[in-house]
Structure 1
Amino acid sequence: MHYRTLGKTGIEISEIGFGAWAIGGDAWGPVEDTSSIRAMERALELGVNFIDTADVYGDGHSETLVARVLRGRRDRVVVATKGGLMGHHRDPRREPVYDRPEKVVHAFEESLRRLETDYIDVYFDHIWWNDQRETDAFLTAFARLKQEGRVRAVGVSTDDPAYVEAFDRDGTLDVVQLDYSLLNRRAEDRVLPYCQERGIGVVVRGPLRMGLLTGKFTSDSTFPEGDVRHGWPREAWYREQLEKTERLRPLTSAERSMGQLALRFVLNHPAVSAAIPGGKTAEQVEQNVAASARPLVTDEDLALIEHVTGEAT
């Protein structure tokens, strides 16, 4: 495993982290807690020291599972969690739920309780739209939490360049979490250059395009009820992205699977600190972690990638 510094924070994290959305159990199909625990344990055994979760994943269940693997090793694991969607995901009108710093601090303290810790390494604003009242509330709360020593770094989870800049208006933004992959390269236009210029750490979610870039799905694949991908096979964009994935298959080999190519691609960008693919089993984790030691993306690889995926998707 290779490690990188998370922007200007000085925090060292594994370039492959563990994304803990799926283990919440409410969005990615069936998952057993015992399998989730074993997946995280295996990740730590293989050198992963960075786990990313959120209060909204399984309505807090993901955080409680993360807490179980932190016991006895809290000082050796960099933990990121997110707040801001709890309440919003039940109210599609997007009325300001976090319009005061006290509400943000309360959500933070609830995450502390579930994670069984007294500090968070990286705490993200999980609201990706730019509502002035909520942005102000988070910035005020984050400054307070950092001053109190309960947060080491703060960030925002968004793909919106305007929101990144709004959140960084005082130059206090430490980390951005964004969607970036071989099949979604929009971040290359503005957000990644902005972060690189200002020393802001970048954590990539969706590096496997929610499983598409593992190369295991076809037009005949189906997803169970309760899986966020359930309706994908009916969508034209799904078939288009499957076709692009197949066109990238010549870049794979016995030494580098499709998923590992996808992870190496996002790690190739100089602004990126880490990728956080999800994993529900130890076997999935082993495949993801192995990407750290797989062949780097070459100029020849990039030429084909540009030919297949050059237009932002």
Structure 2
Amino acid sequence: MKYRKLGKTNIEVSEISLGTWQVGGKWGEPFDWASADRILNEAVDGGVNFIDTADVYGNEVGESEKAVGKFVKSRSEKIYVASKCGRQLNPHNNEAYKPAALRKFVEDSLSRMGLETLDLIQLHCPPIEVYYRPEVFELFDRLKDEGKIQNLGISVEKVEEALKGIEFENVTTVQIIFNMFRQRPSELFFEQAKKKDIGVIVRVPLASGLLTGKFTKDSSFGEGDHRQFNRNGEHFDKGETFSGIDYNLGLKAVDELKAVFPQQENLAQVALKWILGFDAVSCIIPGASRVEQVTSNLGASGIPEISSEQNAAVNRIYTQYIKKSVHQIW
């Protein structure tokens, strides 16, 4: 495992880390505590030292956090824990983002995980109006003074939110969707992130599994799986599901990508390696619902570097199939 600096936090994190949205099983299925434990152990055994969770992950509030907290206390290694707050607000709008509510979310997360402090707390994709309210961000300075958090970050849907958020001095990291099918962050945002020493945490690196190369037009997804019920953004931002692109169009692009990397049977590892080619990236947090997926993801660090010719082909495929429908939206 290789490690990279997480921006101005100065934490050294595994370049392949772990996201825990579906750590207890596939989306929509009952939470499997034993499976979550196996996945977490496999990740840390493989060198992962950074785990990302959120208070809303799991079929019930706090399930993923509880699993992560229990696990971290069972290991002797230093494991950095990141969580998120804000998505419990109902309605989830600007007016609901009150410092008192956010404070309670953070304190509840600490309680569920049995931790005294969070290495990183992230605002969980708040409405863009929140980025114009200094009092929201000032709360986290107080929580840091109290020892309840070590660092503040933001999780965003759009590049414009990332650029606005990093204007706040106490924002140390940005979690953002970036992959072969979502390339816009590599433009102005990555440049500004490096300039301000912002840690970049990449989520949805495999475009909800499209970039594994294992799906076909006949693939089916469970009723509780967001890849079934959120394709048009019915329940949350459309960009979280298949990176916002049309499923069948994505399959065509994936077929072309496979032809660019004929020596690599595991397209998922290629997709992760491509992300690691950007020095602005601190770490990637692919999720996993099975131990085998963790093993596959961790193997991405060791495959050959992507050549300039292959990079050019990836960009050509993105421009031909994907760019027009997603680039300026997110």
TM-score by length of 2: 0.87
Question: Which residue matches 1:97?
Answer: 96
Distance 1:276 1:208 in 2: 10
Which stretch of structure 1 is more off in the superposition, 110-119 or 225-234? Answer: 225-234
Q: Which of residues 23, 39, 61 in structure 1 aligns to 2:63?
A: 61
For residue 175 of structure 1, what is the amino acid of its counterpart?
T
2:302 paired with 1:304: no
Quick one: which amino acid aligns to residue 96 of structure 1? E
Aligned equivalents of 1:192 and 1:219: distance in 2?
34
In 1: Cα distance, 2:276 partner to 2:135 partner: 32
Gaps of 5+ in 2: 233-243
Inter-CA distance 15–236: structure 2 relative to 1 (3 Å threshold): closer
What corresponds to 2:43 in structure 1?
43
TM-fit CA distance, 1:225: 0.6
CA RMSD of aligned residues (A): 2.3
1:4 aligns to what SS in structure 2? strand
CA distance in 1, matches of 2:283, 2:131: 30
Give yes or no for contact 2:4–2:12 (8 Å, CA) kept in 1: yes
Identity %: 34
**Deviations, residues 211-263 of structure 1 (Å, cap 9, x unaligned):** 11111100111101100011578998110011101100024355561000110
Q: Which runs of no fewer than 5 residues in structure 1 stay unpaired? A: none
Give the 3 Å change call, closer, same or farther, for CA 4–216 of structure 1 in structure 2: same
Change (3 A) 1:303 1:26: closer
TM-superposed deviation, 1:25: 5.6
Closer, same or farther: CA 255–80 of 1 in aligned 2, 3 Å: same
Give the aligned residue type for 2:95. Answer: P
- The residue identity in structure 1 corresponding to 2:53 is T
The structure-2 alpha-carbon separation of the partners of 1:126 and 1:236, relative to structure 1 and needing over 3 Å to count, comes to closer
Aligned ranges for residues 80-229 of structure 1 at < 5 Å? 80-88=82-90, 91=91, 94=93, 96-99=95-98, 101-132=99-130, 135-229=133-227
Q: Secondary structure at the match of 1:285?
A: helix
Q: What is the Cα deviation at residue 102 of structure 1?
A: 2.2
Provide closer, same or farther for how the CA distance between residues 179 and 76 of structure 1 changes in structure 2, counting only shifts above 3 A: same
Label 1:26 to 1:125 Cα distance change in 2 as closer, same or farther (>3 A). farther
Q: Is the 8 A contact 2:83 2:121 kept in 1?
A: yes
How many positions carry a matched residue from both structures? 309
Superposed CA deviations along residues 252-283 of structure 1, whole A, max 9, x for unmatched, are 35556100011011111111000000001111
User: In 2 relative to 1, CA 65–197 (structure 1 residues): closer, same or farther, beyond 3 Å?
Assistant: same
Moved more, 129-138 or 60-69: 129-138
Q: In 2 relative to 1, CA 283–273 (structure 1 residues): closer, same or farther, beyond 3 Å?
A: same
Q: Deviations over 1:22-73 (max 9, x none)?
A: 1366845465221121011111111111100001112111101111211143
- C-alpha displacement of 1:142: 1.1
- How many angstroms apart in 1 are the aligned matches of 2:35 and 2:118? 25
Would you say 1:264 and 2:264 are equivalent positions?
no
- Rounded Cα–Cα distance in structure 2 between residues aligned with 1:237 and 1:25: 25
Q: Which of 282, 286, 290 pairs up with 2:299?
A: 290
Quick check: 1:245 aligned with 2:247? no
Alpha carbons of 1:230 and 1:97: their partners in 2 closer, same or farther (altered >3 Å)?
Answer: same
Aligned residue type for 2:47: G
The CA deviation string for residues 127-168 of structure 1, in whole angstroms up to 9 with x for no partner, is: 332224884343011111222333222111013333333323
Q: Distance in 2 between matches of 1:188 and 1:139?
A: 26
Off by >4 Å, runs of 4+ in structure 1: 28-31, 231-236, 253-256
